[in-house]
Structure 1
């Protein structure tokens, strides 16, 4: 069965990547980069960017951090870096872009990342492997899918049935956007759409602009950029049409959380500050804070991306993975054949620790 093979390959890739990383020559000391896909991001002067930053400098603790991809979908995290909220909490973020939740999970298992921003399903996959290390979700960053469907040709009123007989450039099997799209197609009764899932995420746009596919599924700011350039037309928001879905989480190994609860709490606090600032800042302030992370992207595109994500209520006010959202997640995994019904976890606490989220804003936390 193709779907079953997909998850098997996913799990194997995590193990292989973890072993390769742990046997390599890369330093595991604090501050060492966890990969070469993306440079560390620490804009100069960020410690003084926030008006509430403490006047007495703290000795910063370096957190090796892996993000799944670079997208405005994760804006609160970038804001926390840009405005110095991590530094206020005593942390320096050494960031690498993994280009996949499987790679982000592998970095955690190998010890080459302390915290990863990945799909929460990775914690379930690793848990069911019964290995020596397990992952735990400690902050639910997004509660909607962040991808948008763009069409090659302009349509006046898009319907999901329009995908019948069409080709869509999508994401790799087992990834959150691929499973959300697949579940949405099933829900809408579209059975004959061809979804291409074997193109690397970094090559998807190139494949589309060179003539492959009738539709493409992308995140912001790529979606707004393609529309602005006249290379595609907006068709639908998967986040709006699918509904609530816990797509992106901050995750660490159970051992790391147990050994460094103060770091986890500081990290959670900083992201919460980023989200709060994002909701109150002016458009110019938001664009200025995010532009260092999206070189070559105009202020206009950054702001249109932010507005799209805000309008679909992407970032929950309380960044907690609830039992209801966890159930939705597991049902999607089962529907997509990457989780067997008998593997469904009854207890959220097996793969999540929401205690840090519940302490946001408390005195001394």
Structure 2
């Protein structure tokens, strides 16, 4: 009997080792890896904290394997969530309002705010000292698609400044905008970094204004998921938010060399000085915040812009809780 018990005891010991390894690695972190299908709206240094979280292993530390794709538009990023081809998308939070008002089977909720100002820059063909918004009178601006955040922020800025008779071209795809401008189309162009700094360095454009400075506080981009996904995967959403918060915090104090190493893999072919210039431009603009919650004040600004731009009726405004879940962002800095 004793001989028969020895193999059984060895087998039990082996099973305990396997189970212990499966439950954790001794430092409080799970060895289980969860894959997250993630869709970004465009590739831009405007979203640097996200790339930092990926390159510095902050997602990996949380037990997440982030599979990233680029949707080229908030509408497409939201559609990916509804279709189930993305678990989490980085999009304009206005998409959550649009989907909620459609009264469909699925709704979206923003759970982590990444940017708190518009990140686009207005560029001119000639250097303009003391640019005034009235300088756009009678001019053509290559802008973003109708209903997108940068397009609405530009339009609201023109309304605020009382500028009329401006032609804004909105039918050029985002990846083709800089090329169209370089080929001679338009008097001005509205671009994000690092494309803006690239055109400036090439001598094809000059900085005229930053939309973030001109318009002020605006919740431009949020991490969004379907209500169903959040309900089924609250731990995953929390871990995702934790990693994002670490990325933003790291970026605040990192050296230029470390920032370059972190971002370079995501901007292959972009010169080092352009990457650093773009990061510096956004830091000076103050687009990133330590408090990644979507506040009621910011949400009010968003809905007012939507109404002003004719994409939302005043009577169709929604409650913040209908389209946002702030509990994850509120906890993210504590990890």
Hey, what's the Cα distance between the residues in 2 that align with 1:159 and 1:110? 44
1:229 is matched with which residue: 184, 195, 202? 202
Report the counterpart of residue 16 of structure 2 in structure 1: none
- 1:1-365 to 2 correspondences below 5 Å: 58-345=31-318, 347-362=319-334
Contact kept? 2:36, 2:65, Cα under 8 Å? yes
What are the Cα deviations for residues 142-194 of structure 1, in whole angstroms up to 9, with x where unaligned?
A: 00000000001111111100000000000000000000000000011111110
What are the Cα deviations for residues 259-295 of structure 1, in whole angstroms up to 9, with x where unaligned?
A: 0000000000000000111011101100110000001
Hey, what's the Cα distance between the residues in 1 that align with 2:210 and 2:134? 15
What are the Cα deviations for residues 14-62 of structure 1, in whole angstroms up to 9, with x where unaligned?
A: xxxxxxxxxxxxxxxxxxxxxxxxxxxxxxxxxxxxxxxx798823111
Hey, what's the Cα distance between the residues in 1 that align with 2:158 and 2:49? 30
Taking structure 2 as the reference length, the TM-score comes to: 0.91
Hey, what's the Cα distance between the residues in 1 that align with 2:240 and 2:181? 37
> Which has the higher mean CA deviation after the structures are superposed, 124-133 or 303-312?
303-312
| Structure 1: gaps spanning 5 or more residues | 1-53
Report the counterpart of residue 20 of structure 1 in structure 2: none
Contact kept? 2:29, 2:62, Cα under 8 Å? no
Hey, what's the Cα distance between the residues in 2 that align with 1:211 and 1:327? 39
Hey, what's the Cα distance between the residues in 2 that align with 1:55 and 1:151? 53
Hey, what's the Cα distance between the residues in 1 that align with 2:207 and 2:276? 16
Q: Which runs of 4+ in 1 moved over 3 A?
A: 54-57
Report the counterpart of residue 14 of structure 1 in structure 2: none
Q: RMSD over aligned Cα, in angstroms? A: 1.2
**SS at 1:246 equivalent:** strand
- Structure whose residues are more often helix by fraction: 2
Contact kept? 2:147, 2:311, Cα under 8 Å? yes
Hey, what's the Cα distance between the residues in 1 that align with 2:293 and 2:45? 20
Point out the structure with max Rg over C-alpha. Answer: 2
